[in-house]
A = this chain, B = another copy of it.
């Protein structure tokens, strides 16, 4: 889909705010911004603007408002749900230049950063003092904190430590009218409404984040990692259930099935055996606790039917194990020309039956499905493999991925665990929410952004504007232009 033109004189006014080299309107250069990590959705934005300060963000938002232009905020563009998908008549607000660490308070364990700071760079900065930032999406080497806030990103270690929302204490934001508000802050349990919570996971539809206050944690004294293999996902799932039921909260329990193991081996050269399933687990805390808990978790893992349990000899070997797990999505390229990454949640107790249902879907569709996921959270990531060169396979893969989501909802789970709703999952929101639930969300959106210019076309299943009556809305034809077809 091609971008609608923004008049040259309006572009000049954006250039005056951020400087000509931070304003991209050349059609070829705009291609870079056509999609985020969900490459099957592509829309060329009318203009990309890259501010370097809060004052510039305010000026951009005010100008966009005066011109009636939609705004799509974007960090590194690693999101997997199309949350940063541009709209053809709008501006893409890239925040990656705003990457200063503004303040660190070790005594009270918080820091203030700009949204463009890379996730892993935070922990690198804190490491010398023995602190770190807990949420660790697999893309943490490249994704930004602003993007993490937008999508409420998770990661392998969220089982024990929680999602982004549990680590964002506050934010400074620019509202759609250009005013600035502080939501939450370093102080514990700020009075008034917890709009910090509503912000995290709002996918850029409420406001633009210009500063984030993060909780920082002391690095645990010790971490014990082990890798366990099983005949099938059935025994691996039982191990997870036994461990959790025993009251143990590992820092992470990741499950990989046979196909995922094959792909990871091909891509990274880890020396894992060919087995039906594997678990990669971290236990962390004070040394005494870790020794005890790791021993107990190992015992339960054996009891569930583990074939082998490997403990890395040193940090280097541990890193290899974790690199294997974290490269799983990319590794699919070794065994399939194309794949769809799905992201859904099921109650932890339903892992085994749901994996069996996914296997049946694989058999009936004829498409291979690999599973690699955060087992402790019940956060599945089925990877539906296909070949785009075979007519109809892409569509079949997407339908199959969609069927998996419906299974998740049917078992009492959710259509997304950590990748967000974005453009991709918006049509599935009605599987989880009643019209009244969505109307309640929409009335909050309308409070923040009555003109629906902040990332339109995302999150909500049908295009909607803010009507006269709070909580109600009317579909609006031009907004649908923001959603491109696939491919």
A349–B288 touching, CB < 8 Å: no
13 new A-B contacts at CB < 8 Å, known A190-B414, A192-B433: A107-B241, A107-B245, A107-B349, A152-B189, A182-B437, A183-B437, A190-B432, A191-B429, A196-B197, A198-B198, A248-B286, A286-B292, A446-B470
Selected interface stretch from A173-181, A363-371, A382-390: A173-181
Q: Interface residues, chain A, CB within 8 Å of chain B?
A: 105, 107-108, 130, 152, 154, 163, 165-166, 175, 177, 179-183, 186-198, 200-202, 206, 218-221, 241, 245, 247-248, 285-289, 291-293, 296, 345, 347-349, 377-379, 412-418, 420-421, 425, 429, 432-434, 436-441, 443-448, 450, 459, 470-471
A257–B379 alpha-carbon span in the complex (Å): 47
Smallest beta-carbon distance A212→chain B, Å: 16
A191–B440 touching, CB < 8 Å: no
| A194 (CB) vs chain B CBs: closest residue | B197
Smallest beta-carbon distance A33→chain B, Å: 25
| A182-B433, A413-B187 known; A440+B152 contact, CB < 8 A | no
- Determine the chain B residues whose CB is within 8 A of the CB of A285 once the complex forms: 289
A189–B163 touching, CB < 8 Å: yes
A252–B189 alpha-carbon span in the complex (Å): 17
- Determine the chain B residues whose CB is within 8 A of the CB of A420 once the complex forms: 191
A191–B416 touching, CB < 8 Å: yes
Smallest beta-carbon distance A429→chain B, Å: 7
A163–B196 alpha-carbon span in the complex (Å): 15
| A409 (CB) vs chain B CBs: closest residue | B187
Smallest beta-carbon distance A223→chain B, Å: 13
B188–A414 touching, CB < 8 Å: yes
11 residue pairs A–B, Cβ–Cβ below 8 Å? A107-B245, A186-B347, A188-B378, A188-B379, A191-B429, A191-B459, A192-B421, A193-B198, A196-B197, A197-B198, A247-B286
- Determine the chain B residues whose CB is within 8 A of the CB of A197 once the complex forms: 165, 194, 196-198
A448–B201 alpha-carbon span in the complex (Å): 20
Which of B165, B195, B220, B348 is close to A440, meaning CB atoms less than 8 Å apart? Answer: B195
